[in-house]
Amino acid sequence: MKTGEIVELRVESLGFEGIAIARLHGGDRDGLVVQLRGGLPSERVLARIRRRKRTYLEADVVEVLEPSPHRRTPPCPYAGECGGCTWQHLAYAEQLRWKEQHVRDAFERIGHCIAQEYRPIIPSPVEFGYRGKMEFSCSTRRWIPAKQWESMEPVAIERKQPAVGLHIRGRHDAVLDIERCLLLDERSNALLAAVRELIPRCRITCDDQRQRSGFLRNVIIRRSGLGEMMLVLVTRSPSDQSDQLFLERCVELGSRFPDVQSIVWGINDTLSPIPTGPFTVLYGRNHIREQVAGIEFRISAQSFFQANVPNLERFVTAVLDAASIEPSDVVWDLYAGTGTLTLPFARQCAHAIGIESNTAATCDAQANAERNGITNVTFITADLHDRAAWDCLDGLSTPQVVVLDPPRAGMHPRLTEYLCRRLPQRIVYVSCNPTTQARDVAMLSHAYRVVAVQPIDMFPQTYHVESIAVLERC
């Protein structure tokens, strides 16, 4: 079968990454798996082969012949091109059902363990406008969707057009220009529009990855449930007056938007998309405030905080319930961030210890403890993928409860070995990637059993799902 060939398929299921799964029937390729973009289970579709792999094919839906009863028209005009949302064409109730199934499949097929209880998924109270943080990439070359090519004059195609938006699926070098994102609330979209207007007005350049040039690299917007907003600008070092003028005009947005409490600027002259230098406060404070479980948090530009603002309270409550903390317990919160979980734990236990590799997040966490008068908590800056961190843990009292919320890649294998040596009574493993979570749980299975798994949807319109696993010592 050749690349570009059109084939008729019947979609069977949705895979872990949100990709539809189908199979070829007949001929010498009978049973060959096809990973399909844009299809839904039970649908009959025509698809174009995009890429051939050794054991499967990749394809794109070009026509839906028999639609699923759960298919809907995406409300976003960028759906299908933008890499931000992959499931807008799937009814929300079905999104939840598949996320539940993916969590269960991960534990049983990857972790080879069966939980005593799989709890019903906790839905997000809203499908759109939920994100408390969105990071938009800036590019001197705008990605033009295929459906727009015929309506554009050749000169418009050839001319470099700046873009402020999100990467298309599978391409980190292509930015789709986005005027309004449905995952943001209206105030955040208005702020984004105001920044976009300043780019041509101030005649600044956007990032050019090929030439490693251009001034504006990222625009990041954060908001909290308290209504406070932060604008983060990431640029290369200014090179002319237009760059300085842009920064000055951005500062003026603070007076135009009363909700904006912080405008900060970071310089990134490296090849990495992540700014490494310090941030400069251009307007207001260096943080915004959030309130969860009766605790006030400060969130700075570089700090991690859960993105679903309306569902944040339920997320924290679910983790607290899973931990079943006693007043005499010592609790370790590994990958603690700004203390989103550590501080609520501290109010229920004898002592809580938060370990976090990001120095800025640790500073925020300590400030959050002081702001709320919580004294039975200790925060330590340490990289849990480094041996030195385990030496640090050796000097601490063995906890009754350990809470983990690692990055998508999961835990370091030696950290799982370390936990099996310390043997806390209970481990609460929080993850946004059930596949790596299940892998890690399997490494703990000789010492722990999985009591319960609680999915919670923090990412509507995407295949991502948060999973809370409760492990108890055998």
Cα 138 off chain centre by? 19
Residue 19 has pLDDT above 60, yes or no: yes
Nearest to 117 by CA among 453, 441, 427, 434: 453
Whichever domain contains 42, its CATH number is: 2.40.50.140
- d(CA 25, CA 22) in angstroms, rounded, equals 10
pLDDT at residue 389, as a whole number = 84
H-only helix segments in 395-469: 413-422, 434-444
Cα 232 off chain centre by? 18
Does any domain span residue 89?
no
Cβ contacts of residue 283 below 8 Å, gap of 6+? 251, 253, 254, 260, 262, 263
| 315 shares a domain with 286 | no
Residue 207 has pLDDT above 80, yes or no: yes
- d(CA 404, CA 337) in angstroms, rounded, equals 11
Read off the pLDDT band of 147 (50, 70, 90).
low
pLDDT tens readout for residues 221-234: 999 999 999 999 99
Read off the pLDDT band of 174 (50, 70, 90).
confident
- d(CA 91, CA 126) in angstroms, rounded, equals 13
| 248 shares a domain with 231 | yes
pLDDT tens readout for residues 128-141: 999 999 999 999 88
446 or 389, higher pLDDT: 446
Read off the pLDDT band of 158 (50, 70, 90).
very low
Whichever domain contains 364, its CATH number is: 3.40.50.150
3-state secondary structure of 283: strand
Read off the pLDDT band of 156 (50, 70, 90).
very low
Whichever domain contains 147, its CATH number is: 2.40.50.1070
Does any domain span residue 87?
no
309 or 30, higher pLDDT: 309
Question: Considering 258, 292, 326, which residue would you say is the last residue of a domain?
Answer: 292
* Catalytic residue flag (residue 420): no
pLDDT at residue 160, as a whole number = 62
| 274 shares a domain with 179 | yes
| 445 shares a domain with 308 | yes
Q: 133-139 and 216-223: which strand pairing? A: antiparallel
| Spatial contact of 311 and 124, defined as CB atoms under 8 Å apart | yes
| 465 shares a domain with 323 | yes
| 51 shares a domain with 26 | yes
Average pLDDT, the chain: 92
pLDDT at residue 276, as a whole number = 66
Tally of domains within the chain = 3
pLDDT at residue 148, as a whole number = 61
Rg (CA), the chain: 24
Does any domain span residue 77?
no
Read off the pLDDT band of 272 (50, 70, 90).
confident
Q: Structure tokens of 2? A: 């050749």
CA 378 → CA 322, 339, 386, 471, distances in Å?
22, 10, 20, 24
3-state secondary structure of 185: coil
Greatest alpha-carbon span in the chain: 72
Q: Phi/psi of residue 368, each to 5°?
A: -65, -40
Question: Considering 269, 292, 315, which residue would you say is the last residue of a domain?
Answer: 292
pLDDT tens readout for residues 33-88: 999 999 999 999 999 999 999 899 999 999 999 999 999 999 999 988 888 899 99
Residue 117 has pLDDT above 50, yes or no: yes
Cβ contacts of residue 339 below 8 Å, gap of 6+? 297, 333, 354, 364, 365, 368, 369, 377, 379
| 162 shares a domain with 261 | yes
pLDDT tens readout for residues 213-268: 999 999 999 999 999 999 999 999 999 999 999 999 999 999 999 999 999 999 99
| 428 shares a domain with 403 | yes
pLDDT at residue 155, as a whole number = 42
Between 241-255, 293-307, 334-348, the lowest mean confidence (pLDDT) is in 293-307
170: left (phi over 0), alpha (psi -120 to 50) or beta: left
pLDDT at residue 397, as a whole number = 87
Question: Considering 268, 292, 316, which residue would you say is the last residue of a domain?
Answer: 292
| 288 shares a domain with 256 | yes
Q: Structure tokens of 408? A: 């998508």
Q: Tokens 């008729």: give the residue.
A: 8
Residue 344 has pLDDT above 50, yes or no: yes
Does any domain span residue 20?
yes
- d(CA 92, CA 122) in angstroms, rounded, equals 13
Q: What is the mean pLDDT of residues 322-345?
A: 96
Q: Which of 82, 113, 349, 432 is catalytic?
A: 432
Q: What is the mean pLDDT of residues 424-444?
A: 96
- d(CA 15, CA 102) in angstroms, rounded, equals 8
Q: 20-23 and 6-14: which strand pairing? A: antiparallel
- d(CA 126, CA 121) in angstroms, rounded, equals 14
Angle between helices 434-444 and 413-422 (to 10 degrees): 40
**pTM for this predicted structure:** 0.92
| 238 shares a domain with 138 | yes
Does any domain span residue 278?
yes
Residue numbers of the domain that contains 144: 133-292
3-state SS track over 89-128: CECHHHHHHHHHHHHHHHHHHHCCCCCCCECCCECCCCCC
| 147 shares a domain with 114 | no
Please, which residues bridge with residue 371 across strands? none
Q: Tokens 């994100």: give the residue.
A: 131
| 425 shares a domain with 350 | yes
pLDDT at residue 153, as a whole number = 52
Does any domain span residue 81?
no
pLDDT at residue 237, as a whole number = 94
Read off the pLDDT band of 150 (50, 70, 90).
low
pLDDT tens readout for residues 403-433: 999 999 999 888 999 999 999 999 999 999 9
Does any domain span residue 103?
yes
Q: What is the mean pLDDT of residues 170-191?
A: 91
- d(CA 358, CA 354) in angstroms, rounded, equals 12
Q: 142-143 and 229-235: which strand pairing? A: unpaired
Does any domain span residue 409?
yes
Residue 112 has pLDDT above 60, yes or no: yes
Q: Structure tokens of 409? A: 């890649």
